[in-house]
């Protein structure tokens, strides 16, 4: 695991965007695993800027997203489909037919999870998976539990996650209670993983996930077992880790 220390959120976003750019330049028809949440927003902004400058070409890129709320229509402003369009897809030349997310409107959970696993398999697997880290150490929507969830599955969100995400909704009651998420096995099968983490409120999660024991109680800790993980974190997020 490689840990890159960034000064602040802007620096973190540039560094992460640089790593994604390198992937796209090295393999123009790569498969990017994409994430939502506030952590990667700056990274997407930077990628859009470089695309506009003519330095990046997404024409042959395929994307698969980590997760999606169950029950939200694509047009809902808090759906991850909407998020991806608002922050990236609408501003770069990625082929909309090559962008994949779990379908939150398919309420047949078994069918949707199997379909999404098949989508990931059929595009040849993920070359570079971008991840954020939840306050409780979750990745995607893999919440703390007794076992590491394997493939794409339907998750019942923890109170803490609902609490953290309610800022985007009118009230906590409106936050969907379930989501489809790539599982730990799905994530671990990516060839490379890039984690972006920012802010002092994530310092404990960073310490637990990357410097603590590997346990399903801290789902992100499994990343310590992956052969090619880069964590880009700002000073605040690394403030509880002894990097010397």
**Is residue 110 annotated as a catalytic residue, yes or no?**
no
Rank residues 24 and 196 by Cβ distance to ligand GLP and give the closer one.
196
- Torsion angle of the four alpha carbons 97, 103, 104, 109, in this order, in degrees rounded to the nearest 10: -170
Selected catalytic residue, list 103, 117, 127, 143:
143
Shortest distance in whole angstroms from residue 55 CB to ligand GLP = 26
Q: What are phi and psi of 215, to 5 degrees?
A: -150, 145
Smallest gap from Cβ 161 to ligand GLP, in A, equals 5
In the bound state with ligand GLP, the residue whose beta carbon lies nearer, of 27 and 151, is: 151
Q: Please tell me which residue in 65, 67, 117, 153 is annotated as part of the active site.
A: 67
CB of residue 24 vs ligand GLP: minimum separation in angstroms?
21
Catalytic residue status for 143: yes
| Closest residue by beta carbon to ligand GLP | 132
For ligand GLP, the closer CB: 26 or 178? 178
**Cα dihedral sign, 208-211-215-220:** positive
State the residue for tokens 């369009």. 85
84 by Cβ neighbours in 10 Å (0-12 / 13-18 / 19+) ranks as buried
Query: Annotated catalytic, 201?
Result: no
**If we measure between CA atoms, which residue out of 193, 195, 201, 209 comes closest to residue 237?**
201
Please identify which of the residues 65, 136, 142, 208 carries the catalytic annotation. Answer: 136
Burial 173-207 (b: 16+ CB within 10 A, else e): eebbebbbbbbbebbbbbbbbbbbbbbeebbbbbb
17 Cβ partners below 8 Å, 6+ apart? 43, 46, 47, 50
CB of 32 to ligand GLP, least distance (A): 15
Residue 8 annotated as catalytic: no
Report in angstroms how near the CB of residue 188 gets to ligand GLP at its nearest: 15
Query: CA 136, CA 124: separation in Å to the nearest integer?
Result: 31
Neighbours of 228 (CB within 10 A): 12
Q: Which residue number, 102 or 132, has a Cβ lying nearer to ligand GLP?
A: 132
Cβ distance to ligand GLP smaller for residue 62 or 165: 165
Residue ranges in contact with ligand GLP by CB under 6 A: 35-39, 66-67, 132-134, 140-141, 161, 165
Which residues are known to be catalytic? 67, 136, 138, 143
């Amino acid at each position: 695991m490689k840990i890159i220390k960034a000064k602040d959120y802007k620096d973190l976003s540039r560094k992460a965007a640089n790593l994604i750019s390198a992937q796209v330049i090295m393999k123009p028809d790569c498969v990017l695993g994409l994430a939502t949440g506030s952590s990667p927003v700056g990274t997407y902004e930077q990628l859009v800027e470089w695309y506009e400058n003519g330095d990046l070409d997404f024409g042959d890129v395929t994307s698969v997203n980590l997760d999606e709320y169950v029950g939200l229509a694509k047009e809902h402003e808090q759906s991850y489909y909407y998020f991806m369009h608002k922050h990236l897809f609408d501003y770069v030349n990625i082929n909309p037919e090559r962008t994949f997310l779990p379908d939150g409107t398919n309420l047949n959970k078994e069918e949707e999870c199997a379909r999404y696993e098949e989508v990931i398999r059929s595009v040849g697997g993920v070359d570079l998976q971008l991840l954020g880290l939840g306050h409780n150490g979750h990745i995607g929507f893999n919440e703390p539990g007794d076992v590491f969830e394997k493939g794409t599955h339907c998750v019942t969100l923890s109170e803490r996650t609902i609490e953290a995400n309610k800022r985007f909704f009118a009230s906590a009651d409106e936050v969907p209670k379930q989501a489809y998420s790539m599982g730990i096995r799905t994530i671990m099968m990516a060839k490379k993983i890039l984690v972006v983490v920012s802010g002092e409120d994530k310092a404990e999660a960073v310490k637990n996930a990357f410097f603590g024991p590997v346990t399903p109680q801290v789902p992100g800790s499994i990343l310590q077992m992956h052969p090619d993980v880069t964590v880009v974190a700002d000073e605040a997020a690394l403030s509880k880790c002894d990097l010397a």
